[in-house]
A and B are shown apart, each in its own frame.
Chain A
Amino acid sequence: MKRFAVILACALLGGCATVTVSREGATMINIENSGWYLLNFIPIASGNPARPNSCTTRLFSKTVTLENNVKMLDKVIREEGAVAIRDINSFTIDEHVLLILLKRHAYHTSAQLLMKEDMDGAKSEGVSTILPKEF
């Protein structure tokens, strides 16, 4: 029972990096990375941006950053074969447990990926074109 409680606590306190892509009508991407902090600053466990959507957690390292979310975004852009991107948006959400003892910090990033066929109607205005791979 005690062992089960420890495993459950570890699972709940573990961070998580998730990348979700929806292709219903438009290709939308949503990225979330979350982690737990002790006394607001000391990272305990955070999601692993190198392996999103897997049950891997990075211990004692601060991976919940905008930079890591953008890295995951870059990777998905290449994988999906998008030619442009628009409406990139990020925000953070903090939740506190027992005053400042524990904090769950989550960084969210979303964007719309534009494929070759999407570009025929929506030319250039407000759209960020993807550079060739060598960049």
Chain B
Amino acid sequence: MCNIVPTITYHSKSRSSLLALIAVLCATICLTGCFTLDTADIHTTGEEHICVGNSGWYLFHFIPLACGNAAEDPMMPWVFFRNDVTMDKIQHRFMRYANFYDKKTLDMSYYTQESVLFEIPGTDFPIPLPYLLTYKEIQLSGVLK
């Protein structure tokens, strides 16, 4: 009888720590997948500089888990199981913005970043098993004239 109590405590402790780990992982995945559209006026040229970016997490490099929502009227900042980290979607938002203000585009350039080793941000502890859980980010920068 005396042996049962510590076993139950051990199981409930390990379960709660597992749940905490899953919660932190979910929070990390959600909070680090984000769509951004930054703009700033360049006063010396009278133009506008724009930087559009999106990032997300993938399972086996292809199955999207959580990405920033690139839709024009998003219900939520994130989207699950839909791939929004694509050049098409980011460029579409960029061009929509340019067309809305009836401006011509200039100096467009992409910046992409991929992390294919299973490494949770901040841990610096990659498991040598690539393409299990991957992180992808695409940014498009340009000038509107």
A residues neighboring B (CB under 8 Å) = 40, 65-67, 69-71, 73-74, 77-78, 85-102, 109, 126, 128-131, 135
Contact = CB atoms under 8 A, between A and B. Distances in A.
Nearest to B113: A93
Interface of B: 24, 27-28, 31-32, 36, 38-47, 49, 51, 53, 106-107, 109, 111, 113, 120-123, 139, 141, 143, 145
15 contacts: A65-B40, A66-B38, A66-B39, A66-B40, A67-B41, A73-B42, A88-B42, A91-B139, A92-B36, A98-B122, A100-B24, A128-B106, A128-B145, A131-B45, A131-B46
A66 B121 contact: no
A91 B141 contact: yes
Nearest to A39: B31
Given A66-B51, A100-B27, A74 B32 contact: no
Given A70-B40, A92-B51, A100-B28, A87 B107 contact: yes
A99 B45 contact: no
A130 B45 CA distance: 5
A4 B113 CA distance: 36
